[in-house]
Amino acid sequence: MRPTKNICCIGAGYVGGPTMSVIAQKNPSIKVTCVDLNESRIKAWNNENLDNLPIYEPGLAEVVAEARGRNLFFSTDVDKAIDEADMIFISVNTPTKTYGEGKGMAADLKYIELCARQIARVATNDKIIVEKSTLPVRTAEAVKSILDHTGNGVNFQILSNPEFLAEGTAIQDLQNADRVLIGGENTEDGKLAMQELVNIYASWLPKDRILTTNVWSSELSKLVANAFLAQRVSSINAISELCEVTEADVQEVAKAIGKDSRIGPKFLNASVGFGGSCFQKDILNLVYISKSLGLNEVADYWEQVIIMNDHQKNRFARKIVKTLYNTVADKKIAFLGWAFKKDTNDTRESAAIYIAEKLLHEQANITIYDPKVKEHQIFSDLEYLGTLDPEIIKQRVRVVNDPYLAMDQAHAIAILTEWDEFITYDWRRVYDKMVKPAFVFDGRGITDGLNLEKYDFQVFRLGKSITTNKG
């Protein structure tokens, strides 16, 4: 097997872009080309002004500045990059199927299959294919079958190398990964291929953090990791509702249980619900696989994590309506945050979308401010739901660049992303400009230290009783 000198990554999205940037940064002698069909995305990756990169991640611009043009390239010429590469990462999207068998649950593998067919058509020498996308267990078998039966007689080794980065901390997660997982075939060639990929990561990570397993364990581990993480969010969210009716405080409970080293402190923040492109889709995928294998109890167990998450979003929206005297019709609700979490411009499956949907059905007017999400994205998220009349969206939704403008004359504020800047605002000024009584619905637990009650705000925090300055 020849040493890897040339890498291609198909898919320049939230995973492909940052991952290849860091691989290129840490392996200056390897040429890394990230390709995508989406021309405007590639144009943005090549933009001189690093503020215009298509993805916002702290630290990403610096890494791109260091490697781009040296050994990191972004291109739409997929065939050329495939042809030149020794190793090809597949990092395309694997959304939940929206049609046919498995609709609403199974992963849609059409983009993966298209990649495999394209590689088979173009490749004229042996290549290592790395599954970076999150895939159902045993997908590598399908990819191998396509490559072996439709290719030009060249040898392909398929590795699974799922990505564990979290958006918002992607660069830090890549540069200092807890672990890298590489699954491969237990054959001579399989082991050599795994070693090639180990070498790439070993240029910056200690060897003991690079785990090698069989392909199926690697594919399944990614789904299981996301299921466990999402389960923790749903678990603490379930407890938040219990706290609200028992006068316990969810943050105190989280602290008390998180100190137990068997439980640990992370992922115990009660919130308006998890979002992002991965948790829901990966759990649904796990549920679908379990059901297909006749493991109904296993499927039901994991499905409950999603049911709880939907419940949390619904009850947050209901709480706003109920608190505002059972009607939000024609009232102005200010949204602080639209991204599914802080430090990213990704809005996929963001709780804010669903809260907005519910409030628009109640005829509220919504003004949105998010420091990194663009107006066209917000409108496209709402239209994509397909449940709202586009005219209503246009009439009732406004996106502004100034948070104070968003909150001016609002009846209520809903905090839906935990952006740090929100706690730095002049809350006295905000209070003075609002319709009274001025309500804050904190869906992210970030206002605790602010004592908003002292300005006379009425504050609802998930997992706590509603508070006013009278206690």
Ligand X SMILES: NC(=O)c1ccc[n+]([C@@H]2O[C@H](COP(=O)([O-])OP(=O)(O)OC[C@H]3O[C@@H](n4cnc5c(N)ncnc54)[C@H](O)[C@@H]3O)[C@@H](O)[C@H]2O)c1
Catalytic residue numbers, as ranges: 278
DSSP E strands: which ranges in 121-214?
127-131, 156-160, 180-184, 210-214
Q: Which is nearer to ligand X, 114 or 248 (CB)?
A: 114
Q: Answer yes or no whether residue 92 interacts with ligand X by CB under 6 A.
A: yes
Residue 38 binds to ligand X (criterion: CB under 6 A): yes
Q: Does 350 bind ligand X (CB under 6 A)?
A: no
Contacts by residues 425-434 (CB-CB < 8 Å, ≥ 24 positions apart): 427/452, 427/455, 427/457, 428/455, 429/404, 430/404, 431/455, 431/456, 431/457, 433/404, 433/407, 433/408, 433/409, 434/407, 434/408, 434/409, 434/410
Q: Mask 47-86, x = binds ligand X (CB under 6 A)?
A: -------------------------------x--------
- Per-residue contact track with ligand X, 243 to 282, x per CB under 6 A? ----------------------------------xx----
Q: Which of 7, 24, 30, 36 binds ligand X (CB under 6 A)?
A: 36
**Comparing C-alpha atoms, which of 360, 335, 344, 361 is closest to residue 416?**
335
Selected binder of ligand X within 21, 25, 27, 93 (CB under 6 A): 93
First-last CA distance in the chain: 70
User: What is the closest distance, in whole angstroms, from the C-beta atom of residue 19 to ligand X in the complex?
Assistant: 9
Q: How far is the CB of 317 from ligand X (least distance, A)?
A: 25
Q: How many residues bind ligand X (CB under 6 A)?
A: 27
| DSSP conformational letter for 249 | -
Both tokens of 445, joined, read 């637990």
Q: How far is the CB of 130 from ligand X (least distance, A)?
A: 12
Residues 6+ apart with CB under 8 A from 49: none
Give 57 or 442: the residue with its C-beta nearer to ligand X. Answer: 57
Q: How far apart are CA 88 and CA 75, in angstroms?
A: 14
When CB distances to ligand X are compared, the closest residue is 13
Residue nearer to ligand X on the CB measure, 17 or 403: 17
CA triple 48-54-57, angle to 5 deg:
100
Closest CA to 469 of 431, 419, 413, 433: 431
Helix and strand counts by DSSP (H, E) for the chain: 17, 14
CB of 261 to ligand X, least distance (A): 27
Question: Phi, psi (5° rounding) for residue 290?
Answer: -60, -45
Q: Which stretch binds ligand X (CB under 6 A): 11-19, 189-197, 288-296, 382-390?
A: 11-19
> Any contact of residue 114 with ligand X (CB under 6 A)?
yes
141 C-beta neighbours (distance < 10 Å), count: 12
CB of 111 vs ligand X, minimal distance in Å: 4
Closest approach of Cβ 336 to ligand X, in Å? 23
Q: Pick from 7, 9, 15, 130: which binds ligand X (CB under 6 A)?
A: 15
* 283 scored as a contact of ligand X (CB under 6 A): no
Please tell me whether the peptide bond between 206 and the residue prior to it is cis, using omega within 30 degrees of 0.
no
Nearest distance in Å: CB 277, ligand X: 5
Window 128 to 157, contacts with ligand X (CB under 6 A): 133-134
Residues flagged as binding site for NAD(+): 11-16, 36, 41, 92-96, 133-134, 167, 278-281, 348
Cβ-based nearer residue to ligand X, 93 or 271: 93
Using CB under 6 A, which of 4, 7, 8, 14 touches ligand X? Answer: 14
Site for ligand X in 159-218 (CB under 6 A): 163, 165, 167
Please name the residues in contact with 467: beta carbons below 8 A apart, sequence gap of 6 or more. Answer: 453, 458, 459, 461
Sign of CA dihedral 311, 312, 317, 318: positive
Q: Are 298 and 290 in contact (CB under 8 A)?
A: yes
Q: Return the SS3 of 361.
A: helix
Which one of 37, 154, 224, 248 is in contact with ligand X (CB under 6 A)? 37
**Among residues 27, 33, 71, 91, which is the contact residue for ligand X, using CB under 6 A?**
91
**DSSP H or E stretch at residue 221:** helix 215-246
* Interface residue with ligand X, options 20, 22, 53, 115 (CB under 6 A): 115
Reduce the DSSP state of residue 398 to 3 states and report it.
strand
Interface contacts to ligand X, rule CB under 6 A: 10-16, 35-38, 41, 78, 91-94, 111, 114-115, 133-134, 163, 165, 167, 277-278
